[in-house]
Amino acid sequence: MLDAIQNSALYIRGLVLHQAEDLLLKVLAAGPIPQHVAFVMDGNRRYARQHQKQVQDGHSEGFGALKRVLEVCMKLNIRCVSAYAFALENFKRSPEEVDALMELAESKLLELCQHGELLDRYGVRLNIVGKKALLPEKVLAAVEKAEALTRENTRSILNICMPYGSRDEITTAVEYSVRNSLKNKQGEDIIITEKDIEDNLLTSLGGSPPLDILIRTSGVKRLSDFLLWQCCEDTQIHFTDVYWPDFGLKELIPILLDFQRQAWRKQPAPAAP
């Protein structure tokens, strides 16, 4: 009897918290909302060590945090979320950790394919952004399956950046721009503009809007070769000490409030009567 009462109390508490969260998100959504938010999901390994867990468990819980944060962003009508999942530099880690990360990526992508309620509910198109040719064959097959299943979704975008490096992305965009210019302007002077390069960035090719906010967790204050071109102008950059698996709505709210405060500050003053 006591267990039933406790379970009922926990259920009611969870329901009240869920309703309170939805109400809070509706209030936030009434103000200016960023169209593109990016996350450097840092701190999974330190989180695992702090909780006496295996490194791969930290990465797995980091994926759970991504699902929670993605749903919050979708409820706020944030059109695009980008997540730094695996850097090109990460291939230099131990073979055991790289293999574990690749296995986790494959299993989670297949999980999204089998239980894609979140992506379907919010009309999210999944883009894997990076040098996909470097992925193991099984992971690449999971990538292609997940992207194909969400290709018709047009409301929102989730960019999973893996294996990704911004300098490589910019270099490739310059290369594509030169090739396109040579093909289209035979015999004429070749001129490459910033717009040409921007149009050929992987995020642009995937339909992502300009980057409004970049967030890095775990207290590290550097960009680590992530979206360097995209965040060079009007992007607000935020660093938080929380490890990524612990990041959630509580940490996101002050960042969104700061964005809204800056947006209201930029609005022109009303004309005098």
- Which residues are known catalytic residues? 42, 90
CA torsion through residues 229, 102, 176, 212, sign: negative
Q: What residues pair up with 216 in beta bridges, in sequence order?
A: 40, 239
3-state SS class at 200:
coil
Tokens of 155: 């409301």
Distance between CA atoms of residues 206 and 157, nearest Å: 9
Place of tokens 């698996």: 245
The 3-state secondary structure of 96-116, one letter per residue? HHHHHHHHHHHHHHHHHHHCC
Distance between CA atoms of residues 163 and 140, nearest Å: 11
| Strand order across the 124-129 sheet | 124-129, 156-161, 80-84, 36-40, 213-216, 236-239
- The secondary structure of residue 207, as a DSSP letter, is T
